[in-house]
Structure 1
Amino acid sequence: MAILKQGSLGIFTGKIGALVITKWKDKYVGKSKPKPSAKKASALQLSQRTKIRLAGKFMRRFKSVVSFSFQKVPKNMTAMNYAMWYNLRDAISGEYPDFTMDYAKVRLSEPADYATEIDNGYNVAVTVSGARISVAWEADELPDNDETKATDRAYFFCFHPEKNRFVSLESSQRSDLKIDLNLPDLFAGEVHMWLFFASDNLKYVSQTEYLGEFVIGF
C-alpha cells in the first residue's frame, strides 16, 4: 500500500489500470487491484460476509455521530469500522443466512474509558401516543461521572426495521429533561429507540441506552 501526496493532477479516487486509489482516514492510498479468486468461499467466510453487510448497512445510518460517539478508536481502524466491529461482535443474532440485528444490544456510543464517560438519562421513560413520542428523564443531583453537565446534548434515534426508515433528533439538552417528537405516517408499526448523551465539546459520551420496542399508530 502506498500513501499518495497531492500533485499536479490533484487528488482523486478510483481505478487507474491495476491501481485502486481510495481515501483511508485523512490519507489517500494506492493499492493493487485484487485479483478475483477461483476458490469457493467457505461456509465461515460466507457467514462473516453476510454479517458484515448487515452491520454495515445498519451502522451507516449513524454516520453523523459515530465519528465522535465511538472513542479510543484503534489506530488501524476508522471510527465507522470500529462501530461496525463492535456491533458485528455483539448485536447480531441468528444462524446463516438468516442473521438479524439484535436491537437491544446495539451500541451507538462507546466512551474511551471511565474518565470520558458521562451519565445517560436518569430514570428514562418513554410515552407513545399515536404518532407522538415523549422521552423524559430526571435531573440526577448526584451524577456518577464528574463531567456530566446540564448542557450535555441528548441524541435520540428511532428505527422502523420493516420499512427501513430512520429518524434522529439531536436538539435537546440534558436540562430540558425531555424530547418530544411527532413521527410521519410512514412510521406506523413497530419501531426501536435508543438514547445517549454527549458533551458540547464532544469529548465525553454516555453509554447507549436501548429504550425498547414500541408500536406507532395513527
Structure 2
Amino acid sequence: MGTYNKGILGAFSGKVGPVVGASWRGKEVLRSLPRKANREATPTQALQRLKFSTVAAFLNPLYPLLSRYYGNNTGEKTRLNQAMSYHMKEATVYNDPVFDMIYAKVQISKGDLLGVQAGSVASTVANTVTFTWTDNSGQGQAVATDQLIAAIYEPTTKTTLYALAVANRSAGTGAMIVPAGLVGLTVEVWAGFASADEKKYATSSYLGNVLVV
C-alpha cells in the first residue's frame, strides 16, 4: 500500500488498472488488487476466523459505548480496533466447537477515571435491574456528576442492552428497565463511569449475573 498527494487531477477512488485508490485514516492510498485465493483455510486459520467473528458479533451491539469510552483514537488503532484486540487476546475461550466470551474479562469501557467501587447488581422489581455502588466522589479525578454507564447481555437470546447515564456517581444506586422478554432469564452485567463531558472514563467492572424478575 502506497500513499500519494493530490496532484493536478486530485485524488481518485475505485479501480484503475491493477490498483485501487481510496482514502484511509485521512490519507490517500493506493492498493494493489487483491488476489483470489483458492486454497482452503488451514485449521488454525479457520479457528482464528471463528474467534474473530465471535468477538465481532458480541461487540457490535456495544459500538455506541466502545466508540465513546474505550481507550482513545490516537495512533493507528481506533477505539473499536483496541476493543477487538483486547477481547480477542483476553476475553475468549475455545470450547470445541465454538468460542465463548469470558464475561468476567469483558470490558465495555477502558480509561483512567476511577471506576465502580463495591458494585453489585440485583433484580427485585419487575423488568428492572438495579445497580448499587459506593460513592467514591473526591477520590482521584472522580466527581459527583460522573455518570454510570452499563451494559446487560442475555446469552440464550443474544440480547444486548446498554445505558449511557444510569445515575450520578453520588447517587450510589440506579436502575435499568429491561424488556419483558428477559423476565425469567439470567443476564450478565457490566458497569463503569464516564465524566459528564465524556472526556474521562473508567475501565468497566463485571458485576456478575442476575436473574431478571
* Same-fold call, TM cutoff 0.5: yes
Give the AA of the match of 1:163: T
Deviation of 1:176 after TM superposition, in Å, equals 2.4
1:176-201 Cα offsets, whole Å, 9 max, x none, are 22211221112231211100111223
TM-score where L is the length of structure 2: 0.83
State the secondary structure of the residue aligned to 1:99: strand
The answer for the alignment partner of 2:110 in structure 1 is: 110
Once residues 91 and 14 of structure 2 are traced to their aligned partners in structure 1, the CA distance between those partners, rounded to angstroms, is: 33
The answer for the alignment partner of 1:200 in structure 2 is: 196
| Candidates 105, 128, 133, aligned match of 2:129 | 133
Q: 1:141 to 1:25 in 2, by over 3 A?
A: same
Asked if the contact 1:73–1:82 (Cα under 8 Å) also holds between the matched residues in 2, the reply is no
The answer for the alignment partner of 2:162 in structure 1 is: 168
- The aligned runs of 1:6-21 (5 Å cut-off) are none
Segments of 5+ residues of structure 1 without an aligned counterpart are 112-116
The answer for the alignment partner of 2:177 in structure 1 is: 182
RMSD over aligned Cα atoms: 2.9
1:70-95 Cα offsets, whole Å, 9 max, x none, are 22557232211110010010110124
Once residues 176 and 101 of structure 1 are traced to their aligned partners in structure 2, the CA distance between those partners, rounded to angstroms, is: 31
State the secondary structure of the residue aligned to 2:110: coil
1:6-40 Cα offsets, whole Å, 9 max, x none, are 99x99998767765566644456553332221222
Higher mean Cα deviation, 160-169 or 65-74? 65-74
State the secondary structure of the residue aligned to 1:36: coil
Give the AA of the match of 1:153: Q
Once residues 40 and 147 of structure 1 are traced to their aligned partners in structure 2, the CA distance between those partners, rounded to angstroms, is: 52
Instruction: Give the length in aligned residue pairs.
Output: 210
Asked if the contact 1:66–1:79 (Cα under 8 Å) also holds between the matched residues in 2, the reply is yes
Q: 1:72 to 1:181 in 2, by over 3 A?
A: closer
